Amino acid sequence: MFRKPQDVSKLLYYSSMTYEEMWLDCADKLTGMIQNIIEFAKLIPGFMKLTQDDQILLLKSGSFELAIVRLSRLIDINRDQVLYGDVVLPIRECVHARDPRDVALVVERHGVRGNPEIQCLFNMSMAAIRHEIESNHGPVKGDVTVLDTLLNKIPNYRELALMHLEALCRFKAAHPHHVFPALYKELFSLDSVLDYTHG
């Protein structure tokens, strides 16, 4: 999948990172990706008409799930590799000496006030996505579409998002002196954990 020649110096650099350095580096990279997701969300017709509280809540509760979808393209499970920045790294080396619990990697959102508007926006978006996918992709198997397959993955994405928040809480408890990027800190606060566990 990845045809890039290995840059040994970068490979050694990332392999030698401490657990704390890797968390902070990942947080920086994830923050950049989430900034792009936020900009994309602003372009969705009707999103900016939602209340600011609902916009924030939807972004806080869904941005990691969307990032997972984008990140999935960077993993080659056949070769056990991940494209991290501009370097192809063996997944096992990325995980080496990390907390082992960190390795085990729709519309209803707790606390959202404008549910009818969000449901309408969701329905319009899903109709557009369904049309686009059905125009460009055949069924996966029988009458199961690509979109059906993706929608069935939503609970898995939510579980991964919750696991990320739990791992982050453990990291913050063990390393309270580390400072994360402001957007990362805002999106993945303790309140986010409560939104997931009570939603």
The domain segmentation of the chain, as residue ranges, is 8-106+148-194
SS3 at position 180: coil
Q: Does the pLDDT value for residue 136 go beyond 90?
A: no
Q: How far apart are CA 167 and CA 102, in angstroms?
A: 6
Predicted confidence at residue 103, as pLDDT, reads: 38
Q: How far apart are CA 194 and CA 13, in angstroms?
A: 36
CA 100 to chain centre: 20
Higher pLDDT, 109 or 180: 180
For 24, list phi and psi in degrees, rounded to 5.
Answer: -65, -40
Predicted confidence at residue 39, as pLDDT, reads: 93
Predicted confidence at residue 38, as pLDDT, reads: 93
Residue pair 105/164 in contact by the 8 Å Cβ criterion = no
Q: Does the pLDDT value for residue 100 go beyond 60?
A: no
Higher pLDDT, 111 or 156: 156
Q: How far apart are CA 188 and CA 119, in angstroms?
A: 24
pLDDT average, residue stretch 32-57:
90
Predicted confidence at residue 101, as pLDDT, reads: 41
Q: How far apart are CA 182 and CA 38, in angstroms?
A: 14
Residue pair 82/23 in contact by the 8 Å Cβ criterion = no
Q: Domain 8-106+148-194 in CATH: superfamily?
A: Retinoid X Receptor (1.10.565.10)
Beta partners for residue 89, in sequence order: 82
- Give the least confident one: 3-17, 52-66, 88-102, 170-184: 88-102
Residue pair 31/183 in contact by the 8 Å Cβ criterion = yes
- Give the least confident one: 15-19, 126-130, 141-145, 184-188: 126-130
Of 96, 102, 82, 98, residue with least CA distance to 163? 102
Q: How far apart are CA 113 and CA 117, in angstroms?
A: 9
Predicted confidence at residue 99, as pLDDT, reads: 46
- Find all residues with CB under 8 Å of 31, minimum gap 6, and list them: 181, 183, 184
